[in-house]
Amino acid sequence: MNNPATETAQPDGTTAPVEKVKGALLRYRVLAWITGLWLLLLVAELILKYGFDNDSLDFVPIVHGWVYFAYLICMVDLAMKVRWPLGKSLLTAIAGTIPFLSFWFEHVRTKEVKAQFNLS
């Protein structure tokens, strides 16, 4: 039998283990920040490359691409656990491609998930 202290009822009647949601939320938060930082570094790389003809940060696009891929995996994991609708998931995914937006979305989505699952 399920322990009600470790699960939270969802609007659609299903339950999600709180510990799994906490883990998914933490992974999402960490990757949102890392993605945002690498995206800012990518902007700097583009300015150096096209503004000053300097290729010293030419590794950044590849790293950012892989970090963004990991962000997407963590975002989808969280979205599935908390049952986000497709539109919300897509907006959250796109947030990792616009400078500073991943930081704001991380804050908003964290607040929503914590309220939904009574997390502190």
Residues 64-113: pLDDT tens digits? 999 999 999 999 999 999 999 999 999 999 998 999 998 999 999 999 99
Residues 113, 82 contacting (CB under 8 angstroms): yes
Instruction: Give how far the C-alpha of residue 59 lies from the chain's centroid of Cα atoms, to the nearest Å.
Output: 22
What's the pTM value of the predicted model, to 2 decimals?
0.83
More confident residue, 107 or 13: 107
| Spatial distance between the Cα atoms of 80 and 64, rounded to a whole number of angstroms | 24
